[in-house]
Amino acid sequence: MAAILILGAVIENCWPVFLTGQALFGTQLDWFLLAGSLAWKHKDITICVYELILPLLPALIIGAVFVLFQPLRFLALLLDHTEAGPTDCGRPVLLKCKTTHRRVFPKKHGFSYSYLVAGIPVSWKGQVGGMLSAGMPRVPNKLARLVPSGARQMTWFEVNPEDHLQRGGAGMDLREKLDVYLESEVNNTFDERRVYLVSRDEASPSLELPGGNIDDSVSSSQPLKIRNRVTKDFHVSPFNSRKGHYSIVASDPLGQGFQSFRSLDTTITLSSSKGHAKLIARLFSLREPLNPAKMSVLEKLTLLLGWGWIGFATYPRIVKEAAMLWFARKLHVWYRPEPLSTSLGRRADSVEKELEGIFREYLRYLVQQSTTALVVKYVPSGVGAPTENMVSPPAKDGSKETRELEFKVLTPVFYTRFVHYAHDFEAIFNEFRESCTISISNPDLLPSLVLKKPPAPVRVGNPIDYLYLRIIWHLRRRPDRIERPLRSSDKPKSEPTNQTIVDIRDFRPSSMDGYVFTKATAETRRQYRSAVARIFLAEYMGLGSLGVLWLEGFILRAGLAWFVATGMYPFVTMVVSEVRQIVSTI
């Protein structure tokens, strides 16, 4: 009854605050800022809230006990001795390894670090010893992880198939991905990925051939070597160019018959385009592989304490060694180029993901409007979305000869750059030929997809869309060409001047603007106008960074919340006094 009376008093006296907050402070962050400002400015509110929450203290204690259940889950994982079950080759193991890097040209530099490696059969699914799992379904409910049934689905180290080879593929395990292509992957610190096909070189004298035939010159007790060479076309380190090649020498980790794991030893040598060896990297195991199912509680604790932190130290180690090469060795820096068509671009951020979905719809619309028998294979970048084949109406009828075009986005930055252009043909041509953010298999078919003509007039049906359109049209500018010096020591090709290029064309709305604001749904219009407006405002007010723009908005909203809280003192005092009177009469 007391709670009902208090709630009634709050609603009676605070409805102006609710209405004002709903109008001016629409997000949870704004409500949090307003509440924090009120609590700091008016101590009476804090005391009143404390008095109201005090009866809920038993529930808080129960929640704390629930959280303290975590040590039991920790103990359950340590006491777990689940076997891996039958596999087609070897068993899941944990390997204590060391990685070494030795730079020999143009400056000498070297380092070595410990590294923990998980080795699993690619077709294996499950968990072993509470330490290592692969292909296990993740618990959708976070609270379920606190109970023993949920704990059985969690281990200390996890191999998730979605994180390897082609991004995404939630319905595919490692075996299914490797059935598509047996490759190895290289990742860089920019979240880009290159998948290399590294086949066995049958000319190698120390090769185990299919069928178990072994070169007589190699002893059966020695690990057999796998040798090959691949061309380097992926930007991995800022201190190396994208040219050159890798020479790979790896020991066969499995014995004859694929039953036992012997050792891990892989050496990769990076050579320049002129044949100079520049960098030698090696990863090798230090001791016998660990079977998680046979490890004791003490061995698991020792492994977690001594090796569990290594993954968190990877990035700080990279930064440390990069600083040594830059400041101490004075090496030139090769700026990151946009990835080639053979590489996988970085993951898209939230704005790029929104624009990718809208661009996909728009490209589908362009294909439907084409009068040519055209099949467009659209390959997105950074979003994990599937490839889509878009077929024009003449191609569906079969009345004309069908022509195919692959439209592949190489980097998610294309989506934010595309909205800067007022002309589709100009956007596609510049991003394909100059900035190289997309790859097109048959450029001659572009006139059949995008027309070189002004877009139709855009008519909007509400004032909010009209306001956003005016902002977008006013701020829209053609983006600069992605052109940077290859190295830090190179000078720009053109000296900067105080002159600016002005677009004298008399129309600003783009064809994509017209499609979104006249044919798309209300939710799509909201996403598009918000994303594009933020991108353009960030260039004028946030140094081109959406993060800086958000920080500026946060400071503005926090200041506004403080201003509102300061001016509400008489109103808040009245509400607190009435609530206290109700509490005292109960």
Query: pLDDT for 223-275, tens place per residue?
Result: 677 788 888 877 777 787 888 888 888 887 876 666 667 788 999 999 988 88
What pLDDT is attached to residue 458?
76
Q: Which residue has the higher pLDDT, 205 or 489?
A: 489
Q: Which residues contact 218 (CB under 8 A, 6 or more apart)?
A: 205, 206, 224
What pLDDT is attached to residue 351?
92
Angle in degrees, CA 324, 325, 327, rounded to 5: 65
Q: How far apart are CA 107 and CA 331, in angstroms?
A: 8
Q: How far apart are CA 369 and CA 232, in angstroms?
A: 41
What pLDDT is attached to residue 41?
67
For the segment 544-572, the average pLDDT, to the nearest whole number, is 79
Task: Find out whether 510 and 455 touch, Cβ atoms under 8 Å.
Answer: yes
Backbone region of residue 134 per phi and psi (left: phi > 0; alpha: psi in -120 to 50; beta: other values)? beta
Whether omega before 380 lies within 30 degrees of 0, making that bond cis, reads no
Q: Which residues contact 149 (CB under 8 A, 6 or more apart)?
A: none
The pair of structure tokens assigned to 313 is 């130290």
- Does the pLDDT at position 147 exceed 50? no
- Does the pLDDT at position 364 exceed 90? yes
Beta bridge partners of 225: 251
Domain ranges of the chain: 2-67+568-585, 76-328, 347-492+505-541
What pLDDT is attached to residue 168?
60
Which of the given ranges, 93-102, 446-455, 485-494, has the highest pLDDT on average?
93-102
What pLDDT is attached to residue 440?
92
User: What CA dihedral angle connects 301, 307, 309 and 312, to 10 degrees?
Assistant: -150
> What are the angstrom distances between the C-alpha of 368 and each of 392, 474, 522, 523?
5, 30, 21, 22
- Does the pLDDT at position 358 exceed 90? yes
For the segment 74-88, the average pLDDT, to the nearest whole number, is 72
Q: Which residue has the higher pLDDT, 582 or 501?
A: 582
What pLDDT is attached to residue 284?
92
Q: Which residues contact 482 (CB under 8 A, 6 or more apart)?
A: 338, 434, 435, 436, 437
Tell me the per-residue pLDDT of 158-167, one tens digit each, with 9 for 90 and over. 887 777 766 6
Q: Is 197 exposed, middle or buried (0-12, 13-18, 19+ CB in 10 A)?
A: exposed
Q: How far apart are CA 411 and CA 409, in angstroms?
A: 6
- How high does pLDDT run on average in the chain? 76
Q: Which residue has the higher pLDDT, 102 or 582?
A: 102
Confidence tier at 399 by pLDDT (50, 70, 90): confident
Q: Which residue has the higher pLDDT, 490 or 336?
A: 336
Helices (H), 105-243: 148-151, 174-180
Confidence tier at 378 by pLDDT (50, 70, 90): very high
For the segment 429-440, the average pLDDT, to the nearest whole number, is 89
What pLDDT is attached to residue 158?
82
DSSP 18: H
The pair of structure tokens assigned to 471 is 């902002």
Percent of the chain residues topping a pLDDT of 70: 68
Q: Which residue has the higher pLDDT, 473 or 163?
A: 473
pTM (predicted TM-score):
0.66
> What are the angstrom distances between the C-alpha of 92 and each of 12, 130, 561?
64, 12, 55
The pair of structure tokens assigned to 288 is 């016998």
Q: How far apart are CA 337 and CA 403, in angstroms?
A: 32
Q: How many residues does the chain have?
A: 586
Confidence tier at 49 by pLDDT (50, 70, 90): low
Task: Find out whether 322 and 238 touch, Cβ atoms under 8 Å.
Answer: yes
Q: Which residues contact 119 (CB under 8 A, 6 or more apart)?
A: 90, 92, 93, 94, 95, 253, 261, 264, 289
